[in-house]
Every structure is written in C-alpha cells, then in structure tokens.
Chain A
Amino acid sequence: MILESIIEAFKLLISFDSEIYSIIFLSLTISILATLTASVIGTFLGILISISDFKLKRFTKKVVFTLMGIPPVVLGLIVLLLITGPFDGMNLLFTKSAMYIAQTLLVLPIIIGNIIITSEKTQKKVLETATTLGASKIDKIFLLIIETKPFIFMSIILGFSRALSEVGAVMLVGGNIKGDTRVMTTYIALNNSMGEYSMSIAMGFILLSIAFLLHTLLARFRGDFYD
C-alpha cells in the first residue's frame, strides 16, 4: 500500500496536473504568508511580553500557552463565527483571505509562546546585562531578537509546520472549494472520505516530503547558527 502510494505520488507530480500543482501552490502560499505575518507580530509581542512587567503578565502567558494547543477546528469555528457575524460585510466566508486569517491566528500563539519561553529562560542574563549597560526597552527588544535568532527561527519553522499541516480551520472557513480554496490537507481529507486512500496517501507523502525538506534546511541553519 505504501509503495503504491509513493508510486502514485510520483505519478501525481509528473502528471503535471494543474489542479494538483495549484493545490500545492495554494497550500504553500497561504502557509508562508500566514507564518510570515505571525512571525513579525509574534516575535515583537513575544519579546515585549518577556521583557515587560505588567499586572496581567502571568495571566497573559497562561492564555498564550493555552492557545498554543488550541484545536484548529475550534479556532476555525471562532473565525467562522466572526466572519459570518461582526465582519459579515467583508464577505470573507469561503475565501483564501479567511484561510489566511485562520492560519495566522493559529500560528501566532505558537511563535509568541516559544519566544516567551526562550527569552525568559535563556536570556535573563542578557537582559540584565543590557539593562545595566543602559539599554532602553527598544534596544533590549532588538538585542533579544539578535541573541535569540536561532530560537526565533525554530519557532517560525514550528509555526509553518503547524500551518501547513492543519486541516480543521481551513476546511471550515475555506470550504474546500475545488479550484479555489482546496489545499493539500483538505484534499487528503476529501479523498479519504471518498475512499480514495491511495490519492490521500500520495498527497500526504508530498506534504511529508515538503516538511522533511523544511526540517533538513532547519537543521542546516541551526548548525550554522550554533557553529
């Protein structure tokens, strides 16, 4: 079965079926854009939370850590309620924009949470030293970004993996519309429900190959950072 699926995956890739390539392209595009957005906001917020002292800091951290494990389908439901409720006028339901929003919100706490953990545990002395040398809050944010670069990079890759592999949220808000909002994971889910297991496994194999490639690159970059 696995061997058949691998052969099927190669057949899918070399078939130059425009639908397959558009599905892969859409998956990667939305996941990359969502991860980039979440990375910019998440890195800044994560470091800001870790270096700031405010009344609800512990509570805020608990909320972030809880959201790191939010089931995508629950998040998808929240986004669905928002885009069909208060933001109904923006016509976001079953659009790529809705998928992008859902994935960004899914990745954001993963990046913020990982950066808080890294910054607080490993960078306490860096912050103290920077403080004693006269650094302002903005200086400290930039210093921490530079000093925690490998960990930030790792958080971003984790976030990207989460975005690329999630199915629940994009299914709910994107609708899995053929030729429009269908991505690799929803393609797998659909074929699975129709009993087309070999197609599902084939696309799953492609998804895993992308993830493998990504983590190989990560290992290489991490090696460079720590060298």
Chain B
Amino acid sequence: MIEIRNLKVKMKSLEFIFEDFRFEKNKVTVISGRNGAGKTTLLRVFASFLDYEGSLKINANVTYNSQEPVIFNRTAYCNIAYPLKVRKLDISLYHDKIIEYAKLLDIEHLLENNALKLSSGEKMKVSIIRSIIFNPDIVLLDEPTTHLDLESINELTQLIKKLKNKITFIIVSHNKSFVDDLKDVEYKVGGKNVLS
C-alpha cells in the first residue's frame, strides 16, 4: 500500500531520515517515536502536504486527520457529509452509515448542531467520522485521542476495530493503552540530522 525507501524530509534546520518500510493493507500500523522524531512529518508526507527526497510509493486513496480537528462552519452532519458531496456520492445512501458511526462515537444527538460550537473531543469525533465515511483505502490518524475522554477512546477503538478489515489505519499516538489495543504493526521513527 505504502512503501518508503531512503526517505528524507527537510524541515528548516532538521532532516528526518526514515527507515525503509512497507505499510501493509488492512493492518493497523502505529508509528512510534519520541517527541519531535518526525511522526507527524511522516503522516504529512503521506498526505502529500510535504516535499521529500527518496522513494515513496502510494497506490491508494489516503486521508489525513490532523491532531487539531479542522471543522467547517456548518452542522456536524454536513461536515461528515462533505467528502461525499465533493466526491459526487449520493449522501442519502450513506445516511445510515453516518448515524451508525455517530452512535458508535456517541455524537448522534449533536449531528444537527453547528460543529464549530462542539467541544474539542466532539470535533475530533466529527473529524474522524468525516475521514472514514467515504471508505478511503488508508486513513492517517494523528494523535486521535488527544481531546478524548477514556470512554470516547474505547468507542474509537471499537470503531477502528470494526473497520480495520476495510480500511488501513496508520496511527500516531502517545496513548499506550489505545495503541497496544489496536496495533498490528509498529514502525519506529527517530533518525534525524541537524543541518548547518
């Protein structure tokens, strides 16, 4: 699905070096490493937001969910339906699925509220459902548990487990129990050079 070889990313005075790796289909891969090791950088490279050197092969549809949920000024339902709308998919066909995921993450009662007025955790849930609603091949989740309480983390774990046979998840998270509960494969990052 995703294969990296001799991958290097320059960010201001730093150069991140990533070991060769192949991210397998329908597995939950957790990217681990210390703060500043380049975990988010790698996800952003996969999402085509950053330039890189080396070889990166992606033969799949990738969606990136950032650490801070980016919410549009409209209802939670319309936020979730946004990718369906821009992909010219029939939203009514996905209605039940939206309700199902919203129920799973306990935000069904908030679907008609303006998403900008939701709490950070609720925004994160809206953002995650929006990332998966159109069945992308790969979902990149960057610290998805940051704003979530314990119960919500469990709900998210259940959702990912439910979908992992259809969607490949690549996750960056410092939440050990969440990661341990989900990971099939772990990829460690940490190589970097300080550029003069």
User: What per-residue 1/0 map shows which CB atoms of B118-136 lie under 8 Å from chain A?
Assistant: 0000000000001100100
If over half of B's interface residues share one DSSP class (helix, strand or loop), that class is named, otherwise mixed; here it is loop
B173 lies within 8 A of chain A by Cβ: no
The answer to whether B87 touches A146, judged by C-beta atoms less than 8 angstroms apart, is no
Contact A128 B47, CB 8 Å, known A133-B83, A134-B87, A146-B72: yes
Q: Which residues of A contact B72 (CB under 8 A)?
A: 126, 143, 146-147
Count of residues in A whose CB is under 8 Å from the partner chain:
16
* Interface size of B as a range: 10 to 19
**Does A62 make an interface contact (CB < 8 A)?**
no
A129 at the interface (CB under 8 A from B): yes
Beta-carbon contact of A128 and B70 below 8 Å: yes
Question: Which of B48, B68, B82 is the one whose CB lies under 8 Å from A133?
Answer: B82
Asked if B73 CB lies within 8 Å of chain A CBs, one says: yes
Chain B residues with CB under 8 Å of A125's CB are 66, 68, 70
Alpha-carbon distance A80/B87, docked complex (angstroms) = 49
Interchain CB contact under 8 A, A128 and B86? no
What B residues does A133 contact at CB under 8 A? 63, 82-83, 86, 130-131, 134
A129 touches B66 (CB 8 A): yes
12 chain-A/chain-B pairs, Cβ below 8 angstroms:
A125-B68, A125-B70, A126-B72, A128-B47, A128-B70, A130-B82, A133-B83, A133-B86, A134-B83, A135-B82, A143-B72, A146-B73
Name A residues whose Cβ lies closer than 8 Å to a Cβ of B.
125-126, 128-136, 139, 143, 146-147, 149
